[in-house]
Amino acid sequence: MTIANISRDGMINLQGAKVEPFDRAIITFMLTEKQRVTAIQISSQTGGDGHASFFEAEYAALRDVGLNFLPETFGLLINETADKIPPDIDYVEIDYIQGLLRVFFSETIDSTPKSRVNLSHFTLFDWNHENDFGLTEIFTDPFDPSIQKIAYVTEEDEPYINITLTPPQRWAALLVGDLAWELEGSGGTIPEGRETFLRMKLNEGAMTDIALNNLFGYGVSDVCDIIICASLTNISQPYGPRVVTDPYNTYVPRYVSETLVKVGDQDIAVVGYMKNWYFNGSGINSVPNYMDRAKWVPYNFTTNADCGTHGDENGQGLPIGEHVRGTTSTFYVPPIAGSTIAFTQPSPPGYPWKLCYKFADEPWKIFNNVRLEVKQVMTAITHEYGNDTAAVVNYPKEFRFDGYGLNSNDIISYARFDATEDIDCLDSILGDMNEKFAPGAYNTEYEGALTSTLPSGLSLTSAYNSYMDLPIDTVVSGLIVKATVNFTRLSPVYKPHQLCYKFKNEPPKLYNYFTVEAKQLHSINGTKAIVGSPQTFIFYSQHMTGTAPAGNVGEWDEWKDTGKYSKRRERASRNGSTVVDISIPPPSFKPVSL
């Protein structure tokens, strides 16, 4: 049995339709939705082609109770009744990963062509009727302006419609989920439960069914106004906004709670030190074929808009490394492996940078509680006396350090002249130049000279040299620290030791431009002299003073040594010795009464 548009064309085969199980002179067929829709399209009623259809049956398709078969029947005109019942929305679903919105109806919707569905009538918003967005905005790809996208409906007449969202529309839906997640995280609740955070409304006339009955309007109230709905047959339906569900749990909160590092502290970096960074949270690198990105931004940034939408602007630190984007401060965050980078600029003292993170193709999001301080030593000079670049072996000397992020209980050590990498500071041969410092298997505590802050009231802007009473030159507004260093190994001539500075829990950083020559006197050619009689002594050392071939390379404590002897004349030799003529003054005697 069939329903024909033109006699004998067999347009609709009734196989699959249900027949009411009653023996009577009327047979009722319950058509499938597909059969019903096609019947409307070939009918003389609204939504049809203007011509009535026909019922047709082959011989023996039916029989009466006397077992007589129905003869072959063709061209039996059907008495048609129009479909006057408007469609209803049954439920709405969303796939946050694919950006697919699916609306299910009580009957088939006319979506061929796709312009039959008016997307300007759709609005989505959160549970408070805020953060709303529509479905008509044109999206221009930020990296390729020639690519433009709009939301579109898949052309297929079904009891549902599929709407593919543009990236910004998907992001807007995700934002509502993020707000709901943050609300619950702070102890708040969402009316009707957490799964109801996204809602949708439609203006009346957004679409029709196959019989051209307009869809009801679904506004912002839970009941249909009696005046508006008086002529409708299904007034008992709620006409408020529809909850948009996520049946496959595609929504994943995207947030960063903290950084993950393999060495040092999570919120500290040192200029020039290569350190691996990854991030802990939810939704990290969760979209296939997209790699997340990160950048650090100024402390006074507080909103997502401050980060920008997709660009690399306002990044700080000018990091270097394999995963840095060109000459910007943005870096990719490869899954699992993380990003190994080194910053080339320090952060302002007291104002650590904040994290902006880009999940897949989404806009930047700021995380105000994920911060980074980048430290750097800027100056290393003697604190009270002597040369900035010289010291005497086994003669403790105070040095003063200035820079970004310096503090008490940092550790000072020195590496040998041929140390070239930060890791050399930890080497038992290259990095063991001063007292109490013995890196390697036999000492895992990494001892060295501890720093201390200057006395109270002495800061980078008000500190004074305690000996010369001169203002201290400073580079930043923070703390100056000092440390007493006792070199136990001398440095070869013209091959000075190099500073290794360890900021608290960070690995030591090698500063090869802050150097100290550790000098040592090996021997003297005499041990006796006569008072008042000039005597020539020869001092043997690698480090020659006076008129050495390359100038004065010695370390002479002018204030502490004055009065110990009279320095008459120095002559530097070329064989590692210095000739000095010394006159020992006669002792002064104080008369006494006998």
Per-residue pLDDT of the chain (594 residues; tens, 9 = 90+): 999 998 888 889 999 999 988 888 888 899 999 999 999 999 999 999 999 999 998 898 888 888 888 898 898 899 999 999 999 899 999 999 899 999 999 999 999 999 999 999 999 999 998 999 999 999 987 777 888 899 999 999 999 999 999 999 999 999 999 889 888 888 899 888 878 899 999 888 899 999 999 988 876 454 555 555 443 444 445 567 889 999 999 998 888 999 999 999 999 999 999 999 999 998 899 888 889 999 999 999 999 999 998 999 999 999 999 999 999 999 999 998 999 999 999 999 989 999 999 998 899 999 999 999 999 999 999 888 888 999 998 889 999 999 999 999 999 999 999 999 999 988 877 777 666 665 544 444 557 788 888 764 444 433 333 333 434 444 444 578 999 998 888 888 889 999 999 999 999 999 999 999 998 888 888 888 888 888 887 777 777 655 444 444 444 433 333 333 333 333 333 345 555 555 555 555 455 554
Closest CA to 315 of 337, 272, 361, 347: 347
Say how far residue 382 (Cα) sits from the centre of its chain: 41
Residue 298: Cβ within 10 Å count: 15
296 contacts: CB under 8 Å, gap ≥ 6: 315, 316, 317, 329, 347, 353, 354, 355, 356, 372
Q: Which amino acid is at 513?
A: Y
User: First CA to last CA across the chain, in angstroms?
Assistant: 153
Is residue 503 within 8 A of residue 410, CB to CB? The reply is yes
Strands (E), 335-474: 339-341, 353-358, 364-382, 390-392, 397-404, 411-415, 449-450, 452-453
Structure tokens at 516: 């100290």
- The pair phi, psi for residue 498, each rounded to 5°, is -120, 145
Strands (E), 127-231: 133-134, 139-140, 148-149, 152-153, 160-164, 198-202
Residue 245: Cβ within 10 Å count: 13
List 208's β-bridge partners, or say none.
Answer: 214
Contacts 24+ apart (CB under 8 A), 566-569: 568/534
Contacts 24+ apart (CB under 8 A), 148-153: 151/119, 152/114, 153/111, 153/114, 153/117, 153/119
Closest CA to 491 of 518, 527, 457, 528: 518
